[in-house]
Homo-oligomer: A and B are copies of this chain.
Amino acid sequence: VSRILEEGSVSGVGVDQELISAVPSWNPTFLERNFTEAEIAYCQAQPSPPSSFAARWVGKEATFKALGVSSKGAAAPMKDIEILPDESGVPTVNLHGDAKSAAEAKGVSKILVSLSHSETIAIAFAQAVSS
């Protein structure tokens, strides 16, 4: 009898970019709406908080795309996609609420994400992996 494993198969990808200056990280309402307390604490402790917030913001958008659900724009609960570094510093995605439900409905077990920012632009790539 054989048992088939398909761990790590890819079901969706997402890329997103934004001018760092276009992400209103100086606005407490924007931050509280879209970032968890742990994300806010992490970004504010970085050398350039605006860059860290912008990188996470595009990471959340890229995750939405990788899940294959359209971002709801201003109405989307971006807080449901939480991106925090693991013990090696690798950004790691935790899904909550609607984002978690959407992932489960699609058989997505994990989101891999990578973030990058230059002085002006933040870019992120996300990948949905099924098991």
Q: Taking beta carbons and an 8 Å cutoff, which residues of A are in contact with B?
A: 1-19, 62, 65-66, 68-70, 88-90, 112-116, 118-119, 121, 123-127, 129-130
Contact = CB atoms under 8 A, between A and B. Distances in A.
Given A70-B89, A114-B14, A115-B15, A5 B6 contact: yes
B4 A5 contact: yes
Nearest to A71: B89
A9 to B, nearest CB: 2
B13 A116 contact: no
Given A66-B114, A70-B88, A70-B89, A11 B13 contact: no
Contacts of A126: 13
A96 to B, nearest CB: 21
Given A2-B2, A68-B88, A70-B88, A116 B9 contact: no
